[in-house]
Amino acid sequence: MSAARPSEPAALAASVTSSLVLVHDPVCRATAPDYWDWSADAHRTAVRALTAIDDERVRTAAGRLTGDPADDTAAAALTTALTALLSRPDGPGDTAVGALRDAAARTESLSRLLVRPGSPSPSGPAGEAPGAEELLTSVARKPHGGDHPVDAAVVIPFRAPDDATGRVRNLAAVLNALADQSHPRDRYRVVVVESDSRSRWRDLFADACDAYVFAPDPGRFNKSWTVNVGVVHGARPAELVCVLDGDILVDRDFVARAVERFARPGTQAHWPFEDMLFLDPSASSRAVRARCLDGAAEPGRERLRGVLLRRPPGGCVWLREDLFTRIGGMDERFCGWGGEDQDFVWRAERYGPMDRHGDPLVHLHHDRAAHRGDGGVPFYEEVERAGFCSWPCDSDFGRLDRNSGASGGG
């Protein structure tokens, strides 16, 4: 096997376990459909190689995990057994083990998905997920609502149909966590921008953030325009802008760390995470309860089950407000899920360096939005034809009347 491929037995064992779960768990695959499509053949090859292994411990654990891909005890047993197997030097007749090692190394060389089982013995059952009202009434500090200059503004784009309780719960949890920050509350601003045909959730969320802006748009959700509206009509004046999805649960030092990082000369933008952990429904409930109701400083990421997306471009990004403005904000031609985050950070990095850090953020579970039209064509194809990174820097971005002719809001 090439010296340029991963070879550490524990890492290869975890990769094989991950492949087995991905092949048998559609919820895990749905975390990032494009990422799955790009690496599905490699994962399936690894699973075929696993079935050829003649080892009782491996066979038993693999059988249990195939029957229940969410069985963290079986996942831990399989990874342990595979680590021992792959740690042995190859000998005569070990063709199957060599094939498994090669398949795992190939998967680790090209896949952006890695299932991360949770603790086999979590502290208590997940329990019923907290509701939005409970999360909002237990916030640590109320918003200040001021329009004075601040160190940072966190802009959260949002849309949820009337029956989308998961997305509503998630935003309530995000706002709860943002109210519980070590940074002085009057030195950062939280802006929620709801974009829809009508404002559905103002009464629930307006008192939980410093600015609540309604961006009227009856069409497919346009995250780029929604964020731009939030920066123009809610974030300013702020030195820093954080674009935060309404399902990313942050820890207590989230804002303070970012402000401190930007004090370093030459720093203009960063992702606060490396690999984002997308939690399953049970793990999401545990994370929300621990961070928002039990007073934990962070969501307990190391104990939670989910799928790691390696170095994704979206979810959360920090940058100076003048860099955001210099590149014309996000490309408002993107409409529907996909493409806009990658385009945005490519353009931002052209003008200012992008750093990465390893903060303990997690993505809360919710139903996934469609990422392709009825004909199977990605929503971002129109922009792709025009050319990624082609959005003009002098664009008149963030106009509230862009999609409806309406003006005003907040």
Report the SS3 class of residue 363.
strand
Residues 216 and 319 both lie in one domain: yes
pLDDT, residue 408, reads 42
Domain membership of residue 121 (yes or no) is no
Structure tokens at 161: 């149909």
pLDDT, residue 406, reads 45
Residues 228 and 291 both lie in one domain: yes
Q: How far is CA 346 from the centre of its chain?
A: 18
Higher pLDDT, 91 or 20: 20
pLDDT, residue 111, reads 96
Domain membership of residue 93 (yes or no) is yes
pTM of the model: 0.91
Nearest 10 degrees: Cα torsion 164, 168, 174, 178: 160
Split into its structural domains, the chain has a count of 2
| Cβ contacts of 381 within 8 Å, gap of 6 or more | none
* Contact call for residues 386 and 334 (beta carbons, < 8 A): no
Residues 160 and 225 both lie in one domain: yes
Nearest to 362 by CA among 293, 294, 296, 316: 316
Q: Say how many CA atoms lie within 13 Å of 336 toward its Cβ.
A: 12
Domain membership of residue 253 (yes or no) is yes
CA dist 309 and 113 (Å) reads: 5
Residues 165 and 44 both lie in one domain: no
Domain membership of residue 242 (yes or no) is yes
pLDDT digits (tens, 9 = 90+) for 322-371: 999 999 999 999 887 778 999 999 999 999 999 999 999 999 998 765 55
Neighbour-count burial of 267, counting CB atoms closer than 10 A to its CB (0-12 exposed, 13-18 middle, 19+ buried): middle
pLDDT, residue 382, reads 63
CA 290 vs CA 55, 124, 297, 312: distances in Å: 39, 12, 9, 25
pLDDT confidence bin for 42, thresholds 50/70/90: very high
pLDDT, residue 409, reads 44
- Look up the domain containing 263 and give its range: 134-386
CA dist 235 and 47 (Å) reads: 48
- Per-residue pLDDT, averaged over 37-66, amounts to 96
pLDDT, residue 15, reads 98
Residues 151 and 76 both lie in one domain: no
Question: What is the DSSP annotation of 171-217?
Answer: HHHHHHHHHS-SS-GGGEEEEEEEEESS-SSHHHHGGGSSEEEEEE-
pLDDT confidence bin for 142, thresholds 50/70/90: very high
Domain membership of residue 409 (yes or no) is no
Residues 143 and 100 both lie in one domain: no
Domain membership of residue 128 (yes or no) is no
Residues 90 and 153 both lie in one domain: no
Report the SS3 class of residue 63.
helix
Q: Which long-range contacts (CB under 8 A, 24 or more apart) does 366-370 make?
A: 366/164, 366/166, 366/167, 366/170, 366/247, 367/164, 367/166, 367/167, 368/30, 368/31, 368/33, 369/221, 369/336, 369/337, 370/336, 370/337
- What is the amino acid identity at position 219? G
Higher pLDDT, 378 or 256: 256
pLDDT, residue 404, reads 66
pLDDT confidence bin for 226, thresholds 50/70/90: very high
pLDDT, residue 338, reads 77
* Contact call for residues 191 and 154 (beta carbons, < 8 A): yes
Which CATH number covers residue 284? 3.90.550.10
Residues 23 and 144 both lie in one domain: no
Domain membership of residue 33 (yes or no) is yes
Residues 59 and 86 both lie in one domain: yes
Residues 382 and 295 both lie in one domain: yes
pLDDT, residue 300, reads 92
Is residue 306 over pLDDT 60? yes
Residues 39 and 184 both lie in one domain: no
pLDDT, residue 105, reads 97
- What is the amino acid identity at position 200? R
* Contact call for residues 271 and 112 (beta carbons, < 8 A): no
Neighbour-count burial of 254, counting CB atoms closer than 10 A to its CB (0-12 exposed, 13-18 middle, 19+ buried): buried
90, 116, 142: which is the final residue of a domain?
Answer: 116
- Per-residue pLDDT, averaged over 209-228, amounts to 95
Helices within 206-269 (DSSP H only) = 223-230, 254-262
Q: Kindly provide the residue ranges of all beta strands, DSSP E only, lying in 64-149, ordered along the sequence.
A: 113-116
Q: How many CB atoms lie within 10 A of CB 128?
A: 8
pLDDT, residue 120, reads 75
Domain membership of residue 406 (yes or no) is no
Residues 112 and 146 both lie in one domain: no
